[in-house]
Amino acid sequence: MKIEKIDINSLREYENNAKIHTQEQIEQICNSIKKFGNNDPIAVDENNVIIEEHGRLYALKQLGYEEVEIIRLTHLTDEEKKAYILAHNKLTMNTGFDFEKLEKELKSISFNMNDLGFDDFDFEEDKESIYDKIKNNPINSNLFETFIIPPFSVFDTRSKYWIDRKNEWIDLGIKSELGRDGKLLFCDNLSNDSLPQTSIFNPVICEVCYNWFGIDNSVILDPFAGGSVRGIVAEKLGNSYIGIDLRKEQIEANIVNAKECNCDLDKINWIVGNSQNVDNYVDNESVDLIFTCPPYFDLEVYSDDKDDISNMDFEDFKAVYTDILEKCANKLKNNRFAIVVISDVRDNQGRYRDLTGITKQAFLNKGFCFYNDIILVNVVGSAALRARKAMVNRKVTRTHQNILVFYKGNTKEIQNNFKVLENMDYSLEEF
C-alpha cells in the first residue's frame, strides 16, 4: 500500500463519524506521537475524506504538523466505506486487557505510561480492582458506574472486580452461614480446601438484581429465604424484604446477623413457615420483586423436615416447587419482575432433570414471559479435579448456574414503570 504525504488542511473529516474523541484522548495521542513518532498513516478515500484516524488528525493539528502521511482506500464503495468506518471503530472496543500480562508489561517499562492513558498501576500495594483500572475508559466506565457490572448475559464471579465487591459486602458483617449445617454448600462446585464448608449466597447478585429489576423502595418476596444475605442487602439498598424459611433456627440466626449489620428490622420480615402457605403471609399483587434461590432438588439437603422440598422424591419436588412459584406469582404486582437463581442437577443415570425448564414453565403457566437468561459463572474449585473422571462418560463438569428473569405484564411498558438507571449514588462504606 503506497504512503503519500499531503497538506494536512486538504484532509476532510467524515461528517457522520460516530466515534467520540475527547480532549483527554487527543492529548494522549499527542503524547504517543511525541514519544514514539507518528507511525500510523491516516486512511482516506479518493476525495481525501478520512476513513481511519480522525483522532490522529486532531492530535497532529494540535502538534502543528503541516503535512501528514496517508494511505488511500480507493477500492471501497460508498456503502462499504460507511460500514468499514463503523467496523474499524467497533472492533478496537470489543476486548479488554489480560491484566496479568498488562501488569508484567507495565512493570517492565521504565518510563511513566500515565500520559498515554494508563493508570500508574501498583498492583501489589494498591490492590486496585478491575473497575479502578478501566474506569477512565469511556466505554467500560459508564457501564460499571451506572450498572455496577456491565449489563451482559454473563456474570463472572471469578473476576477481580466481582470478588472485591463481594468482599466489601462481607466486610459489613454478613454471616449467612449462621444457622446452617456445617457441611451445607450453596453449590458443590465451590468446594475446595481453601473455602469454608458452608457457602454464602453471593451478595453482589442481590445488589445487581435489586438495582436492575426492582423499583425504589421495592417490597421483595423470597419464598426460599435460607441465610441472611438477601434480606440484609435488600434493607441496605432501601428495600423491604419478606423471606420465608422452614427452619426456625435459620430465621433466628438471620435476625441476629441483621442486628449485627445495623439493619432496620422493620424492613425485614423473616417468616418461619412453608411457602406453600404464602397466601397466609402475603397479599396478592402486593410485592414489587420476586427474588429467590430454591433448593436444587437433592443437591444439598437443608433439613429433615417433611415439608422441605430438598427431602422429597423428584415428582413431589416438582409438584410442590411449581405450586410455590405459581402462588408467589400471584403476589407480584403487574409490570414487575421475578428472578430465580437456579442450576440443574443430574439423576442417577447422569441425565439432567431440567430444573430451569420446570422453573420457566411455572411462570409461563401464570402468564409471565421469560425475559432475560443470565449465566452465573462460578470459580472452578474442585470441579477441575472431577472433570477428568466425569469425561469418561462424556459429562461436562458444570461450573455455572442460571439467573432466570421473568416479567409480569406488557414488556412495552417496562420503560414507563422503571426509571432510567444512572450512576450509583451510594458507597458500601456508607452502610
State residue 331's pLDDT score.
Answer: 98
pLDDT over threshold 80, residue 62? yes
The 3-class secondary structure across the chain, one letter per residue, is CCEEEEEHHHCECCCCCCCCCCHHHHHHHHHHHHHHCCCCCEEECCCCEEEECHHHHHHHHHCCCCEEEEEECCCCCHHHHHHHHHHHHHHCCCCCCCHHHHHHHHHHCCCCCHHHCCCCCCHHHHCCCHHHHHCCCCCHHHHHHHHCCCCCCEEECCCHHHHHHHHHHHCCCCCCCCCCCCCCCCCHHHCCCCCCCCCCCCHHHHHHHHHHHCCCCCEEEECCCCCCHHHHHHHHCCCEEEEEECCHHHHHHHHHHHHHCCCCHHHEEEEECCHHHHHHCCCCCCEEEEEECCCCCCCCCCCCCCCCHHHCCHHHHHHHHHHHHHHHHHHEEEEEEEEEEECCCECCCCCECCHHHHHHHHHHHCCCEEEEEEEEECCCCCHHHHHHHHHHHCCCCCCEEEEEEEEECCHHHHHHHCCCCCCCCCCHHHC
Highest mean pLDDT out of 1-5, 269-273, 314-318: 269-273
Give every CB contact of residue 104 below 8 A, 6+ residues apart in sequence: none
pLDDT band at residue 384 under the 50/70/90 scheme? confident
Mean pLDDT of 190-217: 75
Q: Which of 4-8, 25-29, 143-147, 427-431 has the highest average model confidence (pLDDT)?
A: 4-8
Helix 203-213 with 140-147: angle, nearest 10 deg: 90
Are 419 and 217 within 8 A, CB to CB? no
Res 309: pLDDT: 64
Please report which confidence band the pLDDT of residue 304 belongs to, taking 50, 70 and 90 as the band edges.
Answer: low
- φ and ψ at residue 377, rounded to 5 degrees: -90, 125
Q: Side by side, which strands form the sheet with 67-72?
A: 3-7, 67-72, 42-44, 50-52
Report the range of poorest mean pLDDT among 95-104, 204-213, 258-267, 320-329.
Answer: 95-104
299: pLDDT strictly greater than 80? no
| Residue 263 burial (CB count, 10 A) | 24
Return the pLDDT at 115.
72
Three cell numbers, residue 430: 456508607
94 or 157, greater pLDDT: 157
pLDDT above 60 (res 121): no
For residues 182 and 37, the model is more confident at 37
Q: Is the pLDDT of residue 193 over 50?
A: no
Q: How far apart are CA 179 and CA 136, in angstroms?
A: 43
pLDDT, tens digit (0-9, with 9 covering 90-100), for 238-286: 999 999 998 899 999 999 999 999 999 999 999 999 999 999 999 999 9
Least-confidence region, from 11-25, 101-115, 317-331: 101-115
Range in 4-13, 328-337, 385-394 the model is least confident about: 385-394
At 390, give phi and psi (nearest 5°). Answer: -65, -35
CA 412, chain centre distance (Å): 24
Q: What is the C-alpha to C-alpha distance for residues 228 and 255, in angstroms, rounded to an integer?
A: 8
More confident residue, 194 or 303: 303
What is the arithmetic mean of pLDDT over 366-394? 87
As a whole number of Å, the end-to-end CA separation of the chain is 60
pLDDT at 120 over 80: no
- The pLDDT tens digits for 132-147 are 544 444 444 467 778 8
Rounded mean pLDDT of the chain? 84
pLDDT value at residue 166? 92
Which set of grid coordinates corresponds to residue 204?
453482589
pTM: 0.65
Strands 268-272 and 240-245 turn out to be parallel
Mean pLDDT of the region 10-26: 88
Q: What is the pLDDT of residue 235?
A: 97
Residue with cell 453482589: 204
- From 173-177, 391-395, 405-409, the region with the lowest mean pLDDT: 173-177
Tens digit of pLDDT for each residue in 151-186? 999 999 988 889 999 999 999 999 866 655 554 444
In the chain, the percentage of residues whose pLDDT exceeds 70 is: 83
Rounded mean pLDDT, 38-50: 93
Locate 400 and state its grid cell: 455455572
